[in-house]
Chain A
Amino acid sequence: MLRVASDGSETLDKFRRGDIDAFETLFRQHQRAVYGWILRIVRDSAAAEDLTIETFWRLHVAHARFDPARGFEAWARRIATHAAFDWLRRRQPESAMPEQFFAELPTSAAANPAVCDEIRRKTALAFGRLPPRLRIAAILAVVEERPQKEVAEALGISVAAVKLRVFRALRLLRKDLQQQGITP
């Protein structure tokens, strides 16, 4: 996750004034966290790399609007989330969960052995058919168990709106699974 950097205000102030060296410092400090945040949402490593660059590009373009008092991490998370949302929205639902996703990500150590691979696959595909704004809220708040306040800040909405989106996402997911004969 994105964590607070300790080097503080000087680099951020230089970045705000458009200093490219300060931008590189921030890029190297935060690229892994930004990449990880985006990967959690899009679940596609190649796309996450491209979106990490797109995120930092947007950060660079908006450098003059950066408010050091609000912190770089939260700002980067918000822009990364928007970049990931744009990407999800452009994707067709049928290809929302690429085949390599199932091969790339390891099965959870805590995976329930009673849940067969076919059900996992159908669940992932059904999840991929959800509207992107619901999917992002659900993946961050439910799957990744990020604090709802953090998810709300990243999405630019209230905590109540996050809860509502998660509720709607799970309800739609349950309906989709039931139509496939899977009772969660």
Chain B
Amino acid sequence: MNQNEHDRLKRLLQDALPPIETDPEPNRDLWPEMLRKLDERPAAVPWFDWALLGGLVGMAAFFPASIPLLLYYL
């Protein structure tokens, strides 16, 4: 694609999808909904915490002798 074709497509696209010049305001205040969402959704536990927990449970299941050692470090 040469520069002329690029420019023509760009103009066509800007005609079809007019650029949004300035940041528009949302139609409503979003903070109350944000607060509701904060109340509803507890922070997710990171995946590596779950992986660590799974590893510890697996270790305790396959090597029961390690349980006193794990308890010692808790």
Contact = CB atoms under 8 A, between A and B. Distances in A.
Contacts of A181: none
B12 A110 contact: no
Given A32-B26, A53-B33, A143 B14 contact: yes
B15 A174 contact: no
B26 A52 contact: yes
B9 A184 contact: yes
A121 B16 contact: yes
A170 B18 contact: no
Contacts, number: 116
Contact of A108 (B5, B6, B15): B15
Contacts of A22: none
B23 A127 contact: no
Contacts of B8: 184
Given A53-B34, A60-B38, A167-B1, A36 B24 contact: yes
Interface size class of A (residues with CB under 8 A): 35 or more
B15 A142 contact: no
- Central interface residue in B23, B25, B27, B28, by most chain A CB within 10 Å: B23
A107 interface: yes
Contacts of B33: 53
Interface of B: 1, 5-6, 8-20, 22-28, 30-31, 33-34, 37-38, 41, 43-44
Given A53-B30, A61-B43, 19 more contacts: A27-B31, A35-B24, A39-B20, A49-B27, A49-B28, A52-B26, A57-B37, A61-B44, A108-B18, A108-B19, A120-B15, A123-B15, A124-B16, A127-B16, A144-B19, A170-B1, A170-B9, A171-B1, A174-B1
